[in-house]
Structure formats: structure tokens, C-alpha cells
Chain A
Amino acid sequence: MAIKPLAIAACTLTNALGRGLAASLRALREGESGLRPCDFEDAELNTWIGQVAGLDQEPLRGELAPFDCRNNRLARLGLEQDGFGAAVRQARDRYGADRIGVFIGTSTSGIGATEHAYRQRDPITGSLPATFDYQHTHNVFSVADFTRRWLGLTGVAFAISTACSSSAKAFASAWRQMRGGLCDAAVVGGVDSLCLTTLHGFNALGLISARPCRPWDVDRDGLNIGEAAGFALLEWAKPNDDRVLLLGYGESSDAYHMTAAHPEGAGAALAMQEALARAEILPAQVDYINLHGTATPLNDAAEDRAVLRVFGPATPCSSTKGWTGHTLGAAGVTEAVFVALCLEQDLIPGTLNTRRRDPRLGAGVVLENRERPLRLALSNSFGFGGTNCSLLLGRRRR
């Protein structure tokens, strides 16, 4: 039997395309990328990034001031958009503050605060500056703790940190926790912000591109790092619910390599199959796949094999990384909400920046936006450590 679906009662996105859902939707429709040449801090890397404007100017104040760092500023900016806070307040009145779980994906949380602190070590003792607050900035949990406090929620809360699948897996955790009766509704999300660790780390691995990323392009040569915050409020779907629903999720491990995807995409295929199986949906019923599509040569090739294995070449798919860059721990929720928007708008986004599809790849990658009725769509998120997660979203047609 198909799993009991969850409804997206409210959602919001903030990324390089702007603040709020409208900014993302407008850019998707207009084909306008949020990527710019990298000018983050003093990174001095020849690459493009998807940066959120205004984070330097707006520190956290008041009770939540100890949480002040780029990542939590981005979380707050995200939470302030699209009436998300008000929607959660209403849910809090319905369910109770202790019955709404908080599951937030992040890869690096506020490590940027530690990077800065290491540059200000005491020259004699080596100690970090007195102003540095590890618990409320750098620690993985910080962003989930901040989110829960900002929203006034007191139930189960944790940060999920499985690299670039983190915030896709937040949806799976929310389903399980609700199914197990540990909460009655959930705020899921993902927040990852630009930092030198990821910029220089991906650079050290030779995975970043000096140009805007081109997923599935014959000349693709790497990814661009972006930053984003995205949140969704999930509750059990009602009969005949016409909101966007989470119908299935699938998770797997590659059991292959820490950074390289399994060449046949075995784990990725398994995650997609599990999502379909939980929803009791056949591959041919899926109208659109939002690919992980980072635009590194090997990642796209592996995902292509996996998509071909499960869906064949006919299902329209695309990567939206050319709009936002790879937002790492926030990629899962960013793209799940993109998919939700596309289901509402009957829009298949193209693959921005990609000009010539790699002839060695066979998935049905769409380059230009298409308008067509959509009912079911899948979103893929994969990460270091061989972690894979696919979400199947759908909408009843009116």
C-alpha cells in the first residue's frame, strides 16, 4: 500500500534568485541565473557563485543574538519570507508548540564563524577570540536550534547533515517522526551559506567550474557553489487535498566511494525506485525529474545511468543548478520547493546555461522551459559519503 501522503501546508525559498517564492519563480520563468563571478570574502577563486544579497548588513539581535553568523542570518531571512512564520504560528495553535518537529538539513552550518575566529587567534596563546560562540554558530545543530527558537517550537528538533542530500532527507525524517507519533506536523528545511571551507574544499577536489555550471553539457567541467535557505511546513494530507503532496521518498547508500558517485548510479537508482515504490507510482507516470545535476563530469554521468535504468530516456528532466548554483545542504529543499512550484504552475524548467547535451548521456534532459500539465514529479539529491535521497511530489489535477 502507498504510504500516507504529507501535504506542503506552506513553503518558502531564499537563494541567489532573491527572497521569497516569487523571486525564484520569476527567475525560473525568465531564465535569469543568480550566478555571478566569485567575490565572496577574500576567496580569490576563479569560479562563479550563487550568493544571497544583504547578509553582511543584517546581524541577529536581541534574544537570538548569540546565533549571529552568516548561516543563521540566512535562515532568518528565509523564515521571514512568504508568511512562513505566520503559517507556522497558526499550525502551532492547532497542534501545540511541542508537537511540531523541526528537521533542518545543513552541511557546514555556521563554520564560517570558526573560519573567522581562526584568523583572529591570540598571537601568544593561540586561543580563539572571546566573542566566538561555537554552540550557537558553528555546531551542526545551531541552524536547527535557531529555526526552532525563531518559530517558537519546543518539540523534537535536530539537524540532518548528510552533505548534499541533507535537506531532502529532512522530508523523509519528518514523515517517519510523524508516522511514529513523535510529532504531529513538521517544519523541514535546509540552510547552507557560502564559506571558505566549501569554496576551497571543492576547489581542492577539482570540482568547481570557472564558468557558470552547465549540467549535462558536453563541455561541463564542474559545479558552482550557492547558498540558500528553504523551509516547508508539512502536515498529513486530507482526503481530496489539492495542495502539493509528498507521496514518496527513497534513500540509499552507494557503499562505493567517499566522493565519487557509483559509476552505474546504483545507489541513485535505488533511491528513485524506493520513492516510486512508497508512492506506488510507475516510472512512466512521472511527468518531470529535477536532477541533482551538479554539472561535474562524473556526477552527471552516474545520475544519467541511474535515470536511464529507472525511467528510460523519455521522462523530461532538468537540473536547476544553473539558476542557484549547488546549495549543498539546502539543495534538497530548494529543489523540492522548485518542484512544488512547477507542479502548481505546470512548468518544466529547462537546464540553464547548457547548450549542447552530452551525446554520451541519454536521459531526457530539457534545455528550454516547457509549459505542460504536471501531476507527478521527482527530485534527486545525492552527496559525499554516497548518500542518496529522492522525493516524489504530486498534485491532484483540478
Chain B
Amino acid sequence: MNPLAVEAVGLMAPGLAGWPASQAVLAGQQPYIAEPMPATIATLLPANERRRVTATIKLALQAAQEAMAQAALALDPSPGNGRGELSVRTVFASSGGDSEILDKICVALTQPDRPVSPTHFHQSVHNTPAGYWSIATGCMQPSLSLSAYDGSFAAGLREAAALAWADQARVLLIAYDLPPPFPLAERRQIIAPFAAALLLNPATTANRLALLRLDPGASGQPADRLDDAGLERLRAGNPAARGLPLLCAIARRATRRVILFAGTSATLRVAVEP
């Protein structure tokens, strides 16, 4: 299957504050310590917007922003900047979207006169981070937002790869999920926030972190687990973090085959080389 270059990675999770600071942990050279995430993220959003948006939107945009910065792709916030400047398409993959907003709406619907906030309603759509991303960058390129429950990372990678090949264009995959608030948290356990972004290029540029080949066939093998107990807990405890074995392989800069969780009894095999 056609290869894809990974040009840059963005990452934000407890103890994984950005790609440069996380590589040694992911490569197994340092232990994983789940330190709190930095408070200021998603600086790409104007300050007034950053106050209005939710933790979900900020987390997704932080990972996206970091990957673009690493690839030295300029983000021009002027509206209507258009396709010429930024030709990067996006795929946003998230199991549940913005549970904080969905909780607020469901609470409002139990109250007299049902005071659903118009802002909460428009932020409730699954493609809200994609909308804010395009507004903040001026990018008019196509964008897809999808969910495949716990298999969302693998589904997003499949769609990002298909999009990159079909359009012969760079695609930024952003996978993110956050713990829902109570009472949803009792029915949907996500143990920590996690967002990762991969900038994929169908041109196998020399200036790359890794080369990926997706195997479209069923692997019939169980998904890879991680050696570090803390990282493995994160992988198993957040749908977006199901992509961690791939990030670890990229950080090791070695040739290896990764098997990602892709849903109940389904996996996605990815060959990774430097």
C-alpha cells in the first residue's frame, strides 16, 4: 500500500506536553510521569475566543497547532486567507466529542423553559474543533470529523491516509478525547485528556519523522500494548491514546510493525520506518 510520510507530530496529555518533550518517554528512554498539562494551550485562538471555548476545543487545537508549527507551516489567522496559503486538509477523530457541552445541554433540558444556551448548542456539534480550526487559520480546505468509539484513532488514520492519497495533498489528523463530566463519566470512562496530531504527506519527503504503510487487510492479531505501565494505562483509557503505539514507534525512529486497536475484535496494522 502507498506510503505516507509523517512530517510532524503534535501531542498534549498529562506528562506528554508536546512532541519534543515527549520523545524520550515514548522511545522508552525515560519513565512516563503523568504531570499536569500546561495551562496555556491553543494560543492560535485569539485571546477572547480562548476564554469562550471549551477544554475539548483547546486540546484538539493545541495538538494541531503544534504539528503545523513543527512542519514550519505558517498559520495565517487572517480570514479568507484561503487555499493558496494553507493547503492542508484535516481529519478530526474523537469518540465522544465535547461531553462537557453535551452535559450542559442535557442539564438545561431538565430545567423549566429549557434554557439551552445558543453557544453551547453550536459548540455541541462533533465538528466544532474543525470549525474553530478553519476560522483561526483561514483554511478553506475540506475537513472531516468522525467517530468510531474506541477505534476512533485507527478510523481517523484510515480516513486521513485515504484523503491524502486521493487528493495528493497533506492531511493533518487530529485525534482527541477528554474525560466526560459526572454523571456521564460513570458510563463512559476516559481516564485522562489526550490529543495527538500527525501531519501526513503522500509525497515521501526526506524531511520526515517516519514513513507509514497501512495494511488494509484484517490483521487477526491483538493490538500492541506498551511496556511502560503508565503509558499503557493511558493507551487503554482514552480512545485517542489508542494511537500511542504508533507514536512510540515514530519516536524510536526504528523499523517496526505496529498493530493499533481499531474496534472490538478489529486492529489496524501499520508498517513504520524512519
Contact = CB atoms under 8 A, between A and B. Distances in A.
Contacts of B123: 258
Contacts, number: 218
A384 B140 contact: no
A384 B130 CA distance: 10
B75 to A, nearest CB: 12
B121 A201 contact: yes
A127 B121 contact: no
Contact of A256 (B79, B83, B114, B188): B79
Given A134-B187, A201-B105, A258-B122, A179 B131 contact: no
A351 interface: no
B39 interface: no
Interface stretch (B11-19, B65-73, B141-149): B141-149
Interface string B176-200: 0000001110111000000000000
A162 B145 contact: yes
A376 B157 CA distance: 33
Range of interface residues on chain A? 35 or more
Contacts of B79: 255-256
A64 to B, nearest CB: 14
B215 to A, nearest CB: 10
Interface stretch (A27-35, A168-176, A218-226): A168-176
Contacts of B96: 139-140
A369 interface: no
A119 B121 contact: no
A144 to B, nearest CB: 7
B116 A255 contact: no
A176 to B, nearest CB: 4
A42 to B, nearest CB: 10
A180 B122 contact: no
Given A156-B155, A257-B135, A252 B162 contact: no
Interface stretch (A107-115, A280-288, A298-306): A107-115
Interface in B118-135: 118, 120-128, 130-132, 134-135
Given A162-B130, A176-B163, A386 B135 contact: yes
A197 B116 contact: yes
Contacts of A197: 105-106, 109, 116, 121, 124
A158 interface: yes
A181 B145 CA distance: 21
A205 B122 contact: yes
B127 A161 contact: yes
Contacts of B2: 180
Interface string A230-263: 0000000000000000000001111111110000
Contacts of A346: none
B47 interface: no
Given A162-B144, A385-B128, A128 B118 contact: no
Residue among B102, B121, B135, B163 facing the most chain A CB atoms (10 A cut-off): B121
Interface in B151-181: 151-152, 155, 158-159, 161-163, 165-166
B174 to A, nearest CB: 14
B206 interface: no
A384 B114 contact: no
B138 interface: yes
A175 B126 contact: no
Nearest to A42: B114
A307 B123 CA distance: 28
Contacts of A176: 159, 162-163, 165-166
Contact of B159 (A173, A254, A383): A173
B137 A255 contact: yes
Nearest to B105: A197
B218 A387 contact: no
A336 B131 CA distance: 24
Contacts of A111: 102, 106
A161 B149 contact: no
A46 interface: no
Contacts of A386: 131, 134-135
B149 A266 contact: no
30 contacts: A111-B106, A115-B109, A117-B106, A119-B110, A127-B186, A128-B183, A128-B187, A139-B96, A140-B95, A141-B148, A144-B148, A145-B149, A158-B155, A159-B147, A160-B144, A161-B145, A173-B146, A179-B162, A196-B109, A197-B106, A201-B105, A252-B141, A253-B141, A253-B142, A255-B134, A255-B139, A270-B140, A383-B127, A385-B130, A386-B135
Given A118-B107, A176-B163, A251-B143, 15 more contacts: A114-B102, A117-B106, A119-B110, A121-B183, A156-B158, A160-B145, A173-B144, A182-B161, A201-B122, A205-B121, A252-B142, A255-B140, A258-B131, A384-B128, A387-B130
- Report the 4 A-B pairs with minimum CB-CB distance, sorted nearest first: A385-B131, A201-B121, A161-B126, A251-B142
